[in-house]
Structure 1
């Protein structure tokens, strides 16, 4: 099975979207009361942080990182 390249931007985005789901699941169960618009800063903040993480990872790896792994 071929190994996939680690992409930290997707990891950060997934963590924030999972956290958003946990917050709304807790609201649905009745553990706490979350306003409907709380999803906006969670998702947008997570996507912005994921984009910054992806750019930083790309800068650290350099331009040839993706091409070197595809032999």
Structure 2
């Protein structure tokens, strides 16, 4: 079986979505009170953060790849 390349953006996005889901479940069950205006922007923020991490990872990998071939 081939090993998959490590992707920090996917890891960050997965952990962020798990956290958002847990916050939603805790709010729905009444164990934790999180206002809706705070909960709604968390998803776009997680997506933007994952996109930024993905861009940085791509730039770092491209820069490292340049040194090997030259």
TM-score between both structures, scaled by the size of structure 1: 0.77
Name structure 1 gaps, 5 residues minimum: 66-71
Name structure 2 gaps, 5 residues minimum: 66-70
Could you say what the CA RMSD is over the residues aligned between the two structures, in angstroms?
A: 1.9
Structure 1 residues 1-71: aligned runs within 5 Å: 1-62=1-62
Q: Matches of 1:36 and 1:45 in 2, distance apart?
A: 15
User: How many corresponding residue pairs?
Assistant: 65
TM-score between both structures, scaled by the size of structure 2: 0.78
Q: CA deviation at 1:27?
A: 1.1
| Greater RCO (CA < 8 Å, at least 6 residues apart) | 1
State the 4+ residue runs in structure 1 displaced beyond 4 angstroms.
Answer: none
